[in-house]
Structure 1
Amino acid sequence: MSDLKIAVIDVKPGASMESQSGLQMLRPRIFGAYRAPADRRKVAAIVMHPTSNFMGHYLIEPLAERGICCMGLNSRYMGNDTLLLMERAIQDLGAGVKYLRDAGYEKVVLIGNSGGAALASFYQAQAERLTATQFPDGDPTHLHADDLPPVDGIALCAAHLGRSRLMRDWIDPSVTDEHDPMSVDPALDMYDPRHGGQGVQGVREVQGVQEVRYDADFLARFSAGQQARLDRIEQWAMDRLRTLRATPGAPRDQAFIVYRTHADPRCLDLSIDANDRAPGSVWGDARQVNYSANAMGRTTSLTAFLSQWSSRSQADGPTNLARTSVPVLLLTYTADQSTFPSTRDAWMAAGGDRIRNVDIVGGNHYLAGQPALVPQAADAIAGWADGL
């Protein structure tokens, strides 16, 4: 097996000031890290996330040991999704696919891990039939079919359904003032102990954390409040965008903040969408994450919000997966705190006869501290990829 190699890949320019680096804007590049098995050019894989740094991904080395070149590829938005456009992220992914095709690999597959699952599905759907000719704000994407060479299969692991669905499920409906992160309506606050049912029969302590139970009425009001808040933000974003673009001399975009975006009752109530998880969030204490200065979708722009987080996003995972025709493997990590049985079921329904599920029993979202489970995931992916 070769040493770790670094890929430096030129990509097409994007929006004005999408980076604070003048060098990156003048010569935009993306970077990947991979191991190439010696004397074997059969299958290569790309694992990519819209914004996370995957150059150190835990599957790179195990897959190389199993004869598959695996590249952890970063998009141009690595570490900062403030201006991220999903339509531009798939263009970056396409540049990575071209890189591996040019290197002589017979087959290329995508590994959609976590938020990379919807990205991979969006990519292949557009590679098979390009429809994303405009961004949700109406501007042209300038995507071309040759930007998106099709792949031969998609493997999904700990797979979120897409950023718009995450925002729908995680946004805190108790915010009463969009300019005040501490504003709260107690009637819709899932972290208010009056709603948690703590101490009722059947509620237990799991790994030192008190599990809670929410009643059906609160959950219904909570979900309706989430949708109402998201609708208000989306309408404001559309109205503001129209105002800016109708005003001579005004900018075409604007940054803003979405406070408190980590309020999913499943973090605390393990009876909802039950799996093997412990109470809490993949990032630690769920309430602390909810109120933190940096969290999912916290800082965004009008165009990025529409592309990633809104109902107008074109990057919904299952919707796009259903439009593809390639074989699909789904790895379900059964102790994940952010993907659940309903998540698995949505992917399975979208994949139809082309998809097969493998449970990684006890796996948390990152397989963190679980070295025995990483080979299980690698074995499943390698066996599936070799059979394509």
Structure 2
Amino acid sequence: MARLAATVWASEVTAEGQDPDTAVMVVHPTSNMLGHYALGPLAERGLAGVGLTTRYVGNDSSLITENVLLDIASMVRHLREDRGYRRVVLVGNSGGASVVPYYQAQATNATVTDPPGGGPNLTEHDLPPADAVVMLMAHSGRARLVTEWLDPAIIDETTPFLRDPAIDMYDERNGPPYSADFIERYRAAQVARNRRITAWAEQLLRAAPQGVDDYPFVVHGTYADPRSLDAALEPSDREIGVSLWGPPRAANLLPAAIARYTTARSWLNQWSIDHAQGDSLRWLPHLEVPVLIVYGTGDTAAHPQHALDMYEATPDELATLVTIKGAGHYFQGQPELRDEACDRIAEWINARS
């Protein structure tokens, strides 16, 4: 199983004939970054593009965020000590927002000794800090995102088709468009459901018999964000009626979806709105290095408001905000917008060399 492997993998891309002194490492807790779309373009712009895969690549069901931070640390150290790079820039892409600001804050001043759900004491580990941080097409954190996407109409966690029509965004009687009152009740019900699952996970661990360390379970209904069907909510250039995984109603119940499979400990650690430490808005105010936030106005996953929230959370003198007009989450079919984003990243890094 990948999460038990002793090796952390990365790809390193440089342009022929160049010897860059800056490594730009793209990070996500679980996605395979070895062939990330920015690596080649960054290399063409005189940087080393590095894509990291953590021990949880392709499987976040038992992910502990602090273990991801240790994986980042091992690669930052390798890039400096073994590969000889003078500077390392960390890029939190998409869900990388959950770990990159957290890592940098702890590398500067480690404070987390007892992570929720269990995990390493970060004060006992060497976390070499990076020289700068980039947030690329990133949301503000996994627990925040899953809460914004949780389907509050699900009444019974074991029966996804038993639904409360009063808070069902897929019930046409409610919209779209959705009223302000509905959205207020809906968002509150999403938080309440996250907290119910958290309480259940805590109960499972308290009731565990001797020798049982964790419990797996399924979380149904994890793509029910009203923004996907109502263009009037946080208006942007996003396409309405789609998600990263197809039509929203279908994506809501797909077997492979965000947070679909998890364990009690992992839920508390990465998905609980009250306990998860991987929250960019918590750690960005503590950073002491430059922070670049790049977002696309056509993104259907990491919305412009996520970027604005991160920008506001970052100390003014350190923060730079870049808008890529019309860009989708993966720049799919948009090579010119991908290149624009990489241009801006390279220009920003080089201006701080």
Please give the range of the TM-score, normalised by the shorter of the 2 chains.
over 0.9
The answer (yes or no) to whether the contact 1:127–1:145 under 8 Å persists in 2 is no
Q: Determine the structure 1 residue equivalent to 2:216.
A: 255
The aligned runs of 1:134-149 (5 Å cut-off) are 134-137=114-117, 139=118, 141-144=120-123, 146-149=125-128
Q: Which structure 2 residues correspond to residues 258-337 of structure 1 after superposition, within 5 A?
A: 258-279=219-240, 280-310=242-272, 311-337=274-300
Query: How many positions carry a matched residue from both structures?
Result: 347
Paired letter, 1:106: R
Which residue identity lines up with residue 382 of structure 1 in the other structure? A
Q: Give the CA deviation at 1:40.
A: 2.1
Q: In 2, Cα distance between the equivalents of 1:41 and 1:221?
A: 52
Deviation at 1:39, TM superposition (A): 4.2
SS in structure 2 of the partner of residue 217 of structure 1: helix
CA distance in 2, matches of 1:345, 1:142: 32
Letter in 2 for 1:163: R
Answer yes or no: is the 8 Å Cα contact 2:14–2:47 preserved in 1: yes
Match of 1:344 among 307, 313, 316: 307
Pick the aligned partner of 1:216 from 169, 180, 187.
180
Letter in 2 for 1:87: E
Please, what TM-score do these two structures have when normalized by structure 2? 0.95
Structure 2 CA distance for partners of 1:142 and 1:217, relative to 1, 3 Å: closer
Give a deviation string over 1:44-69, Cα, whole Å, max 9, x none: 11101101111110000000011110
Please tell me whether the aligned partners of residues 117 and 162 of structure 1 are also in contact (alpha carbons under 8 angstroms).
yes
Alignment equivalent of 2:332, drawn from 358, 368, 377: 368
- Could you tell me which amino acid in structure 1 is paired with residue 170 of structure 2? Y
What is the rounded CA distance, in whole Å, between the counterparts of 2:90 and 2:131 in structure 1? 8
1:112 to 74, 89, 92: 92
CA distance in 2, matches of 1:309, 1:274: 26
- Residue in 2 aligned with 1:229? 193
Deviation of the 1:34 alpha carbon: 1.6
Q: Match of 2:292, as an amino acid? A: L
Structure 2 residue matching 1:147: 3-state secondary structure: coil
**Kept in 1: contact 2:133–2:289 (CA 8 A):** yes
Unaligned runs of 5+ in 2: none
Correspondence for 1:240 among 198, 204, 220: 204
**Matched residues in 2 for 1:68 and 1:191: separation?**
46
CA distance in 2 between counterparts of 1:344 and 1:308 reads: 20
SS of the residue corresponding to residue 46 of structure 1 reads: strand
Task: Quote the offset at 1:293 in angstroms.
Answer: 1.3
Given that residues 274 and 341 in structure 1 are in contact (C-alpha distance below 8 angstroms), is that contact kept between their aligned partners in structure 2? no
Aligned to 1:3: none
Does the residue aligned with 1:263 lie in a helix, a strand or coil? coil
Given that 1:321 and 1:351 are in contact with CA atoms closer than 8 Å, whether structure 2 keeps it comes out as yes
Aligned partners of 1:47 and 1:72 also within 8 Å: yes
2:45 pairs with one of 46, 66, 86: 66
Q: Distance in 2 between matches of 1:140 and 1:51?
A: 17
Alpha-carbon offset, residue 142 of structure 1: 3.7
Distance in 2 (CA, whole Å) between partners of 1:344 and 1:84 is 25
Deviation of 1:341 (Å) = 3.1
Contact 2:137 2:329 in 1 (8 A): yes
Contact 1:43 1:386 in 2 (8 A): no
Task: Give me the whole-angstrom Cα distance separating, in 1, the residues matched to 2:52 and 2:255.
Answer: 27
State the SS of the aligned residue for 2:221: coil
* Structure 1 position 184, deviation (Å): 1.2
Instruction: Kindly provide the CA deviation profile for residues 2-37 of structure 1, in whole angstroms up to 9, marking residues without a partner as x.
Output: xxxxxxxxxxxxxxxxx3x6xx74x51111112124
Deviations 1:244-283 (A, max 9, x none): 1xx3x24111101111011110011111111111112122
Kindly indicate whether the alpha-carbon contact (under 8 Å) linking 2:67 and 2:119 is maintained by their aligned counterparts in 1: no
Superposed displacement of residue 144, structure 1: 4.6
In structure 2, the CA distance between the partners of 1:322 and 1:145, relative to structure 1 (3 Å rule), is: farther
Which amino acid is the alignment partner of residue 295 of structure 1? A
Give the whole-Å Cα distance in 2 for the aligned partners of 1:140 and 1:340: 30
Distance in 2 separating the partners of 1:145 and 1:104: 25
Q: Residue 29 of structure 1: SS of its match in structure 2?
A: coil
In our comparison, the structure showing a higher alpha carbon Rg is: 1
Gaps of 5+ in 1: 1-18, 197-211
Answer whether contact 1:82 1:301 (CA < 8 A) is retained.
yes
What amino acid maps onto 1:220 in structure 2? E
**Would you say 1:33 and 2:11 are equivalent positions?**
yes
Counterpart CA distance in 2 for 1:120 and 1:327 is 13
CA distance in 2, matches of 1:130, 1:170: 31
What's the Cα RMSD here?
A: 1.5
CA contact (8 A) 1:162 1:317 kept: yes
Are the structure 2 counterparts of residues 183 and 250 from structure 1 closer, same or farther at C-alpha, using a change threshold of 3 Å?
farther
Identity %: 40
